[in-house]
Amino acid sequence: MSDGRDEVTDRVASRFDSDDDGEEDRQPSEADQPTEKTTDKNAMNSQRAKNVKKAWNAKSIYLPDDLDSQLSKAYKRLDLELDDEIDQLKKTRHFYPLVINAGLERLEEMERNEVLESMERIESNE
């Protein structure tokens, strides 16, 4: 009976250790928190990481339904547009970093009043 349990445990572990970039991300434990040494190593190897869920830092975010819907539609649109150029647009490896990077670049360009107006628009859509 222990062999069956070990087999199930191995299958479950391999499923969650894979780089399938599904939407379900686990929450990191304290042991998963990066040290300065691992953060430097991650920065060097971040684009070459075989499993980004193990190599990169995890962030949980909460979005209102409207933004969540826009994010899903943007992913699907971009995936279709890039279909001829890349094998697969992965959410965790490609799409989310792209969205965050573009947002951070735009945020740096925004004036204080633009930030406040954008925040008000988001809150009024909730």
In a domain, 99, yes or no: yes
In a domain, 49, yes or no: no
In a domain, 100, yes or no: yes
| Displacement of CA 95 from its chain's centroid (Å) | 7
**Which tokens in the block code for residue 120?**
């008000």
Q: What is the pLDDT of residues 60-117, one digit of tens each?
A: 999 999 999 999 999 999 999 999 898 889 999 999 999 999 999 999 999 999 999 9
* Structural domain boundaries, residue 67: 61-126
Question: 39: pLDDT confidence band, cut at 50, 70 and 90?
Answer: low
The answer to whether the beta carbons of residues 42 and 82 sit under 8 Å apart is no
The total domain count for the chain is 1
In a domain, 10, yes or no: no
